[in-house]
Structure formats: structure tokens, C-alpha cells
Structure 1
Amino acid sequence: MFKIKNKRIFLVFFIAILFTAFYTCTFNEMFQYPKEIKLFENEKQAIDIKFPFKVDTQKIDNSILELLQKTKDCDENILYINPLKIGKTHIQVKLLGLVPIRNVKVDVIPKTKVMPGGQSVGVRLNTKGVLVVGLEEIKGIDEKKHNPAREAGLNIGDSILAINNIKIKDAAHVTNIINKNTNSETTLKIKRGDRIFHVKIKPVKSIDEGEYRIGLWVRDKTAGVGTLTFYHPDTMEFGALGHAITDVDTGLLLTIDKGEIVKSKVASIQQGKRGRPGEIKGIFYETSKPIGYLEKNTYFGIYGKVYKPIENSIYKKPIEIAYQSQIKTGKATILTTTDNNEIKEYEVYIEKVNRQRTPSTKSMIIRVTDKKLLRKSGGIVQGMSGSPIIQNGKLVGAVTHVFVNDPTKGYGLFIEWMIKEAGINIYNNSQIADKY
């Protein structure tokens, strides 16, 4: 009994030492490892599971995938996952093959193909209701200062959806309703984040304009230039920008009532400098023939449907998308429009891949290496957001932001997050077996 107890104490002590000794980059990497990875059918892939961690082969559904181990130089063992058919299973990672550390869901999916973008597009967006972008005091006919909006509890960033149960169309509509009500108490339907509520407010007649006011500034629309990332021929869904359209004053995400994308020509490029982001200035054209309509504005880009197929002068056919587990540091290219309306392909280098469990616009760090693009724009500039990133013939992501202090570098968003936001069914009509 004494010996058994001593062995248990020794085992606990040994494991504790291992935990301490290996709480290094390798240990941290394991805990940052995604809880779920997606793989394409019949496409073998290496997985980065290093000592002291091992995969428990007994926990794998061998009908869906198999593990292969190959020895490289210096007797280094490389572990590969070989997906055999579409379906779901999981792999269990254990410390020294003994202590369970992480269950990683493995989703074997059919290959998804999209047409890469790169086209400069104009974006026109009408908000749902109107957005409050400022509050101000009003000098009333009593020569006193009033701010009915602030007194009613309104904040910058609130959206006014309706007044007295009348749905708001635009900023002018707000003015008309307020003046018709004169000094009567008015009910506003307000959206603040995910919360919708009502407030009562009494307009004040301005001594300066002679009209009734409630003491706020509102905005109902915005427009700008960005880059199309992809469109999916099977569903006609598109994704662009790779980041949200936000209000210029409040920085808040704008909710879409109506919106569309139109053709845009690059008029000029302001070069990016250290501390001063550059900018592509575009001109909308053929505005009576929009390319597509907007369905949603999210933190990971804008999405909607195109009215007809969009051609790409460089990629004539759809290409496969890659998931984050397939993306490597190394050479890549971006597609973007820098002259008139012609797509060009430029060389970049993926310096870092941030493995992510949940969507973020900072999935990758890329650096522009193409001398032509560096001479033309200085690197990444505003208006390039959404430019497709392509590696090994696959669409891996989209450009999202530039580094203010180094315009040659910027962030990229994984294309898998954009495909998810677009609501594209990656399985199509495939039958999926769920087994865990």
C-alpha cells in the first residue's frame, strides 16, 4: 500500500514538473489551437502537434479520416490528417498520451469554389431609420437654452426608427414630422445596440430658425469606395470590404435599410506614408445599373447578391477557398484595382497567421513586396479593403486594415469567416454524418 501511494505521489509530482517545464511557446500554442478545424475531402494536411503532446488514435472515426506519420530530416516526425470522406469526427490531444488536453472537432467538407474579386466598387447605403450623430442646445423663443434630446435620454449612436409610430425614411422626414407636431409631446422609437425602446420628447421652437427642434443631428446615408472580395456563382452571394461600414462621426456600425454596389473607376491614389494612411479616390459610374444589392453590413464585411455573373480578367474560372489550417507564412498575391477599372495581381508576403477560434479582422499580417505597387501606392491604402489574398491558387482571405506607421503592412481576414457571414452553405446537398 505504501509503495502504491508513493508511486501515485511520484506520478503527480512528475506531471506537475512537466506542466511547469513545458509552459513555453509549445504549451501555449496547444492551448491556442482551434477547437475545430475544417478540411477538404481527399486533401492531406499536416497538423502541428508537438511533443509532449500526442493524438489518441483510438478516438478517431477511421471511416472519415486517418492519421499518417512521416519522418523527415533529423528524425523529425510529421503528423498528417488524411480526410477519407465528408463527415465530422474529432481528435483528442493528450499530454504524453495520458492526460486529455483538448478535443479538436474535425469537419471534412466538400471543396468550395468562388470567383475572386479585386474590382473597385462603389458602395451606397441607406441606414435603417436615422443615426444620431450629435446633440446640441436650442435657444427657444423664451430665450432660454434647451436640449430636449439629451433630457429624454438620447445618446450619440442611437438610431431613430419611428416617430409617433410613423416609420422614418430619412433625415428630412424627421424634420417634417417634428414640425407638424409643433410643441406636442412626441414618441420616438429608439434602437440602441440590440435594445429597442421608446422615449417621449417635447420639441422646442427655435428663436433662430422659427421651426421646432428636438436638439440633435442625424445621418441617413453614406457612400464610399472599396474592393469586391468574391462572389459565389451557385448562389450569387458576394462579399466585400472585409470590415464594417461605420459612421464617420460615431464609429458605430451602420444598419442597412437599402444599399447597393455599383461600378467604380479609380480616379487617383494618394500614397500611404508613415503615420498617414493613403487613399484610393474613385468615381461611381453606370449608377443606374448597380452590380448588386446589400443584405447586411457586419464587422467582417458587407454582403448581398449580385444581379448577374461578374467576370475576372485574371481568373477566368472559380477557385477553391482555403481554411486557416491550410494557410502558411510565405508568398501570396492580392488582387486589386489601381488604374481605371483594371484588376491587377501584386505580390505580398504573409508574415503571420493568427489561428482563431472566433472571427476577427486581424487573422493575418501581410506585407506588400511588389515594387510596382509600392511605387504606385506606398503599400496598402484605404479603398483596398476587401482585396482578395490568394496563396497556392486558393482564396485565403481579404485585406482589411493598413498599419498606420508602416503602410507596407496590413491585416487580412480569413476567407472562411467571410463565407460564413455570407451564409453560403459549404455542404451544398451532401449528406453529413455526425459522429463524436
Structure 2
Amino acid sequence: MKSAIKKGGLIFMGLLLTIIIIGQFTMKDDDTASVDVVSETVLVPGGHSVGVRMDVKGVLIVGLEEIETADGKKVNPGIQAGLQIGDMILEIDGTKVYKAEEVQALVNKIQGDVKLKVKRKSQKLDINLTPVVSKDDNLYKLGVWVKDKTAGIGTLTYYNPVNQSFGALGHPIVDPETGSILSVDKGQLLQAQVQSIQEGTAGTPGEIRGVFYEADSPLGGLEKNSSYGVFGNAYHPIENPLYTKPLVVGRQDQIEKGKAYILTTLDDNKLERFEIEIEKINHQSEPADKGMVIKVTDKRLLEKSGGIVQGMSGSPIIQNNRIIGAVTHVFVNNPQKGYGIFIEWMLRASDS
């Protein structure tokens, strides 16, 4: 799925949709140990539409721009110093920064050369930079566009009643410009209300449009954004009206081709169960996101949405009364089909 970015904001076009107006955004264990842990786990299945609000750890560079100085020259201090899109600014002259406005305030307080501590992928770098004064507003600038927050709508995958943890989305929240996974500083999982559904067609993914309000009682706190979903701890128990008791987790070797179900929320914020077919199982010895190819066969879901749409990521997959995975991606040219991740990889990411 393609992504787009706007100044001061983020639009993430995976199956997590960024809020614009009303919303829409290893450890390697041996196989035996993994099976033992998973086989003993029971989870409350999700399917609830949820809002994800996250403060990014540090300040992410999402763009680089030229600054016109008072003498008419156009320069980009960031590029000259070696900054790159996707770099995370952690400190300026030894002072930690967490918000975009803190960067501008510190740079204009120093009014001279600055030393940045930057995180680039897994490396931490020290970069010296000389800001310039902008002709437009007479402020010292680095020549970078930065952001510190993101928000969107997705679907809850599970709630673990034993340790009050939860998992959602089945894929990471990434910066659309760089593709880098955003690090969580703090964030919350919120209740969301579905407002409308745009039907998906070949070449044009549909989407769930919804809204969440900061004043609403949050479901839990976010602690981790990983390749296999977002994770955290719930503030109170989460229930599923379709399943009064938790379901046992299904291992890869227990999954079969054929009929299964997904749980998701569409009309009137009603959590529903829809029939799908598992067409292919990609058995994996290490975590990966595309473990299953699924096809929507339920006529009700096809009539409502055309199949899998953006905002359904994280919808749990149920087979033989076991929770076996979650929806992660839609086939752009065939919205009836998509990929699913094995639930064991989400649980491993949460535990690690």
C-alpha cells in the first residue's frame, strides 16, 4: 500500500489510517519452546474498532528543505550536515527533545552551532550543524520538517486476561516517507466509532472511516510498536460479545486450508463475525507477517465493503474455535483477498 505525507502531519496508508478530520489512518526460540508457550495461552478475541494515538520517541525528520537567508541565498543546513529523512533527533546540545516545537525553541535559544544526537536505524550519531536565519520570519532554522505524533484507526486483535496485555493491527505503524518503524514514547489505545465504509475495488483499496475522542475512557496504554503489531496493557478487562469465554491459541500446525472467520466492526459499531477461506498457509520457522492468504467469502461483508478494507488490520482470524492470526494487508488488485499473520508471532513480539 502506498503512503503519503503532509507538512505537520502523517498519512499512513497500510491498513492503519491516519486521522485527518474524523479519522482513518529476535529473539529466536527453538520450535518446541515456542509451541509449549503458545499452546497454553488463551485469549479474548478482538474485532473492536480502535483508535491508536502515539507520541513518537524523539523527533522524526520527515522532510528536508532549503532556507532562504536575508542575503537571498538558499541553503539547507540539514543536508550539508549529513541529516537524512528518517533520522530521529534525540538531543540538541545535550538537552533531550520530545516535541517538534522544542527543536525550534532550543535552536533559537542557542542562536549558533548546535550538536545533535541522532538515531539512524540502529545507530546513534553525533552531528554538528550550523542553523541559518530565515528571511521569512527571522528565526534560526535547521532546514528540516519534523513530527512527533501520529494517530489512526485499526482493529484490536486480542486481550490476554491473564496479564491484561493486548495486541492490535498485526503490522507496525511506520513513517510513510521513510518506511521506518516509529518508536513509542507514550500512547493510548482508544475506543473508536465507525462512521462510514468506502467499498474497495480492484486497484483502489476501500477504507473504514471513523472517529475517536481523547475525552473517552482509553482502553489501555501503548508500550511497543513492532513489525507484528502494537502492544500494551489494558486499563480494564476487554470483553467480546460474541465469545463469553477466551479462545485457545492455534498453532501453525493446527491451521487448515478452508473455512474460517474474521471478527471486525462495521455498521453501527457492531462487532460481527464474517466467513472467509484460508487459501494458502506459508509455514514459517521465524516471525514474518504474511503467514496466510485469505479470501472473503461472506456475502454480507462483500456487499458492505467489497472485501478487506483499510482499517481492518488486526481483525482476528478464528478457525475451529481457536484464534490463529490477524488480518494485515489487502491485495490492492483484488480486495476480496489479503494476508494474515500467525498469532504466535504477535504473542512473541508482545512477550519480547
Partner of 1:162: 91
Pair 130,234 (structure 1): closer, same or farther in 2 beyond 3 Å: same
Would you say the 8 A contact 1:37–1:325 is kept in 2? no
Residue 267 of structure 2 is aligned to residue 349 of structure 1 = no
Q: Which runs of 4+ in 1 moved over 6 A?
A: none
Cα deviation, 1:329-380, whole Å, max 9, x if unaligned, reads: 0100000000232110000000000000111110000000000000000000
> What amino acid maps onto 2:86 in structure 1?
G
| Deviation for aligned residue 1:211 | 0.8
Partner of 2:19: none
Distance in 2 between residues matched to 1:117 and 1:305, nearest whole Å? 14
- TM-score normalised per structure 1: 0.72
For residues 97-140 of structure 1, give each alpha carbon's deviation from its aligned partner in whole angstroms, at most 9, with x where no partner exists: xxxxxxxx975875210100000000001101111011111111
Q: Which amino acid aligns with 1:333?
A: Y
Aligned residue for 1:126? 55
Q: Residue in 1 aligned with 2:68?
A: 139
Name the amino acid aligned to 1:262. L
Contact 1:36 1:107 in 2 (8 A): no
Aligned positions of 1:200-279 closer than 5 A: 200-279=128-207
- What residue in structure 1 maps to residue 24 of structure 2? none
Partner-residue secondary structure (3-state), 2:105:
helix
Partner of 1:422: 350
Give distance in 1, aligned partners of 2:229 and 2:279.
23
Higher relative contact order (CA closer than 8 Å, sequence separation 6+): 2
RMSD of the TM alignment (CA)? 1.6
Counterpart amino acid of residue 296 in structure 2: V
How far apart in 1 are the matches of 2:214 and 2:223? Answer: 21
Structure 2 letter corresponding to 1:237: S
Q: Which one-letter code corresponds to 2:343 in the other structure?
A: I
2:328 equivalent to 1:400 = yes
Contact 1:331 1:348 survives alignment (8 Å): yes
Instruction: For residues 232-282 of structure 1, give each alpha carbon's deviation from its aligned partner in whole angstroms, at most 9, with x where no partner exists.
Output: 101011000000001133222111101111000000111111001110011
Report the equivalent of 2:227: 299
Report the counterpart of residue 212 of structure 2 in structure 1: 284
* Alignment of structure 1 residues 43-122 onto 2, 5 Å: 107=36, 111-122=40-51
1:389 equivalent to 2:317? Answer: yes
Cα distance change, pair 108–377 in 1 and its aligned pair in 2 (3 A): closer
Question: Which amino acid in structure 1 is aligned with residue 117 of structure 2?
Answer: K
Structure 1 portions without partners, runs of 5+: 1-34, 39-87, 89-104, 425-436
CA distance 1:256–1:286, change in 2 (3 Å)? closer
Unaligned runs of 5+ residues in structure 2 are 1-28
TM-score (norm 2): 0.89
- Write the deviation string for residues 377-431 of structure 1: whole angstroms up to 9, x where unpaired: 000000000000000000000000000000000000000001111118xxxxxxx
Cα deviation, 1:186-242, whole Å, max 9, x if unaligned, reads 011100001011111111001122111110101111100000000110101100000
Q: Bigger CA drift: 378-387 or 140-149?
A: 140-149
Cα distance, 1:375–1:106 mapped onto 2, change above 3 Å: closer
2:272 and 2:31 map into 1 onto residues whose CA distance is 32
Asked if the contact 2:261/2:318 (under 8 Å) is kept, the reply is: yes
Q: What code does the residue aligned with 1:125 have?
A: M
Residue 63 of structure 1: aligned partner: none
Local SS of the residue matching 1:380: coil
Instruction: Give me the whole-angstrom Cα distance separating, in 2, the residues matched to 1:147 and 1:332.
Output: 54
CA separation of 1:382 and 1:108: change in aligned 2, threshold 3 A: closer
Q: Are positions 1:193 and 2:121 aligned together?
A: yes
CA shift in 2, pair 1:356/1:109, >3 Å: closer
CA distance in structure 1 between the partners assigned to 2:294 and 2:336 by the alignment:
8
1:146 shift after superposition: 1.2
Paired residues in the alignment total 324
SS of residue paired to 2:212: strand
**Aligned partner of 1:193: which letter?**
K
CA contact (8 A) 1:122 1:262 kept: yes
